[in-house]
Amino acid sequence: MSDYEKVVDTLLGRWKSQILYTGVKLEIFESVGTAPKHALEIAKELGLDGALSYRLLRALASMGFLNEKDGQRFSITPMGELVRKDHPQTLRGVILLEEGPEHYAIWKHLSEMVKDGRQDGFMREFGLRIFDYISQNPEYREIFNYAMSSYSATHTKLVLEALKSYDFSKIKSLCDVGGGHGHLICNILNGHPQLQGTVLELESTIKNKELLWAEKMGMADRCRYLAGDMFKEVPRSDAYIMKMILHDWNDEECVKILSNIQKASSPGGRVLIVEHIVPGPETPHFSKLFDIHMMCALTGRERTEKEYASLLERAGLSYVQTHYPTSRTIGVIEGAKQ
């Protein structure tokens, strides 16, 4: 691909993401199967306009999510399978969130934020910070939680790979701070039978018991859910884990969370911080793009290994090491209380 073509491809990236969002929102991928199916049959099944549906299906096929055969017949591809509701690593929730109306709207403030040095497009667009907006908007909250579940399957796999050689033998209790529905901690408990787990979360996140992974994975006797606020206090535990939490917050807010962990920890206690870690200037990385999303959505940012080590030090903890999966997509920063 020439430089010109790369620029055009980047420029038109929003076209592609919005076409995919529309296909997901209209449940195109639930209707299209492995056997070729006529566009009009798909449209009728979903209650869509036949002519415009064909054009959408054709565009999705051009992007690799569907196969198009002669006679306007379509079947699903492996890429399309990844956005179906029933795929174990579905990205459907992520697409509905990141290309939905709220997240679409906040990006228009990016240039002004870079000019005046004040981030948080949610506050600019809606007059609320994102977590306040979540609490006041049930429809957005449902999509947000769905997206976090979509992310969880991939993140959990990467964390387990990064920590496959980690010595949990001296740890009896593990607290997942901001642990959502408990997907990560339940998978860790599954591999370490001596562990007891706690998920610290907002009441609004854990009140729907049907969504909690402890019950679904048969871990209810080993994993409890505790409603609370990590900015006020965390429960006592031998070790703590936080997945994609600190990147939501600015440095002062991060130090507050880590200081609460430091206070609740016993000497030698551990904290495992799971994040997309920014590598050096020579390395292109997802974290450098995700960092701009954090600029738009919250007060936080993606950080380097040294910057996370500095946050630990400011909270009275020491940096130990960083554990990576092979892909280095994420990292697990290990800190300790002396």
CATH number of the domain where residue 39 is located: 1.10.10.10
Q: What is the pLDDT of residue 259?
A: 98
What the block records as the tokens of 318 is: 């020491």
Tally of domains in the chain: 2
Do 179 and 62 share a domain, yes or no?
no
pTM here? 0.90
Do both 158 and 123 map to the same domain? yes
Claim to verify: residue 56 and residue 203 sit in the same structural domain:
no
pLDDT at 146: 87
Same domain membership, residue 303 and residue 185: yes
pLDDT of residue 1: 87
Q: Do 170 and 293 reside in the same domain of the chain?
A: yes
Q: What is the pLDDT of residues 241-259, one digit of tens each?
A: 999 999 999 999 999 999 9
Distance CA 335, CA 320 (A): 5
- pLDDT of the residue at 6: 92
With a cut of 50, list the residues of the chain below it in pLDDT. none
Give the per-residue pLDDT at 59.
98
Residue 68 lies in a domain: yes
| Whether residues 202 and 147 fall in one domain | yes
Domain encompassing residue 21: 3-84
User: Is the same domain home to 181 and 218?
Assistant: yes
- Catalytic site residues? 247
Q: What is the pLDDT of residue 239?
A: 97
One domain for residues 144 and 17: no
The closest of 77, 69, 71 to 28, measured between CA atoms, is 77
Instruction: With respect to residue 92, please indicate whether it lies within any of the assigned structural domains.
Output: no
Tens digits of per-residue pLDDT, 287-306?
999 999 999 999 999 999 99
Going through the chain in order, the beta strands assigned E by DSSP cover: 37-38, 66-69, 73-76, 173-177, 196-201, 223-227, 239-243, 270-275, 318-323, 331-336
Q: In terms of domains, do 133 and 278 share one?
A: yes
Which residues, 6 or more positions from 204, have their beta carbon under 8 angstroms from its beta carbon?
134, 135, 141
> 240: domain CATH number?
3.40.50.150
Q: Does residue 63 lie within any of the structural domains?
A: yes
pLDDT, residue 266, reads 86
